[in-house]
Amino acid sequence: MKKIFLSRICRVFSLFVILTVLISFSSGPPAGNTGAPGDGTCGGCHGGGSQTGTVDITGILDVDNPIIANKTYNVDVCITLLSGSSPRAGFQFVALDGNTSTSGSIGTISNLGTNVGTTTSGSREYVQHSGGENTYSAGKLTYSFDWTAPATAVDDISFYVAANIANGSGTGGDLIVFDSDQSITLPVDLVEFKATDNSDGRVLLKWITASELNSDYFEILRSEDGIDFYSIANVDAQGFSNEIFEYKYVDENAITNRNSYYRLKQLDIDGQYAFSDIETVQAQQFDNSYLNIFPNPANRNGCLFIDYFSNEDLPNSKYSIQDIFGNTIIHDAQLDSGVNKGFNKIVVDIKEVPAGQYVLLISNNNRLLQSKSFIVGN
């Protein structure tokens, strides 16, 4: 009778241990098991499985490298089952300021997805499965959350993740897999980049570096909408420097009388590169040129006769016609002989322009020179 009683106690105790392991694992692993420097792994309790698989961190360094300060990244931890059987999988992730055993966490975690939680140990905050594990779909499962970079740029950030591709027994036969990424170290420590209106149709670009390592050159990029950028100049870098250095460049053909956008592309000798923040500026053009249109109203079957006085030779001058709603009727049509310094007579054919109210714009190399309203009669 006594032996039977003890046997039942052992069975109950064994069942309690197995359930505790399963419940503990599904609610989240112990902190500090990502495989990062100073962390352990889950291999002591989980392993020996015949299944194969991978884990990947996506949404950070595959989007920006180096990382942009104060930007929020939508992170996915993607676990893939390549072969074997696994009903579920869990994970643990950490972002470190540096890559040593004493490095603490960096950045801010938010917007936790399904079955995702956080835990801390010392100076490190971990993101991990919590409250259960996600299930596979076509051999893949994903855990999602947001990670926001620090407000001040940091070059050396390391990301580590470990995943347990489990067989569901709670007693081994699992597969532990790892992934890690490190942000690149910038060749240039850029402390300032400014674009300033010179009030003469030009833009002054100024940037300051605190140090440079293997830096090759800066490419100056300009945009008319803040989205599509194109190169306007290259400026040689210092190469190697531990001192503050100031660069200047004047955009002689700036976009005038409306917003334009500038950014730097920093390139090092090995081909790595990074972008600066975007600077917005509106270059003003003041001169004593004038524009006169006649007849006004104009005959829709005729021509516009334009008197234009210019302070300089402008061989690349073009004209555009827009309606009062901003729709372009004629876009950047080349003036036959450009604009010469002094008095110019220009003739514009408006036979294809419907009756209505319009604005004539004269520009040169994307710089708006003058504009004038006019009417086309019936």
The CATH code belonging to domain 188-282 is 2.60.40.10
Query: Is 290-376 a domain of CATH 2.60.40.1930?
Result: yes
Domain segments of the chain: what residues? 26-182, 188-282, 290-376
Torsion-angle region of 128 (φ positive above 0: left; ψ -120 to 50: alpha; else: beta): beta
Calculate the average pLDDT of the chain. 83
- In 3D space, the residue among 260, 258, 262 whose CA is nearest the CA of residue 326 turns out to be 258
The tens digit of pLDDT for each residue in 341-375 reads: 888 888 888 888 899 999 998 888 877 888 889 99
The CATH code belonging to domain 26-182 is 2.60.40.680
Please, are residues 353 and 321 in contact by the beta-carbon 8 Å criterion? yes
Show the tokens assigned to 202. Answer: 């030009």
Same CATH topology for 188-282 and 290-376? yes
Name the 3-class secondary structure at 182: strand
Whether residue 287 has pLDDT greater than 90: no
d(C-alpha 43, C-alpha 113), whole Å: 26
Q: What is the pLDDT of residue 24?
A: 38
Please, are residues 283 and 197 in contact by the beta-carbon 8 Å criterion? yes
The tens digit of pLDDT for each residue in 62-102 reads: 877 777 778 899 999 999 999 988 888 999 999 998 888 89
d(C-alpha 215, C-alpha 190), whole Å: 12
d(C-alpha 56, C-alpha 79), whole Å: 7
pLDDT, mean of residues 139-156: 85
| DSSP helix, strand, coil percent of the chain (3-state; round to 5) | 10, 50, 40
Residue indicated by tokens 């086309």? 376
The percent of residues above 90 in pLDDT, for the chain, comes to 35
d(C-alpha 376, C-alpha 201), whole Å: 31
d(C-alpha 69, C-alpha 230), whole Å: 23
* Cis peptide bond prior to 295, omega within 30° of 0: yes
Lowest model confidence (mean pLDDT) among 81-85, 154-158, 277-281: 154-158
Q: pLDDT tier at 288 (50, 70, 90 boundaries)? A: low
d(C-alpha 127, C-alpha 293), whole Å: 68
The percent of residues above 70 in pLDDT, for the chain, comes to 88
- In 3D space, the residue among 51, 55, 57, 58 whose CA is nearest the CA of residue 82 turns out to be 51
Task: Report pTM.
Answer: 0.51
Phi, psi of 20 (to 5 degrees): -60, -45
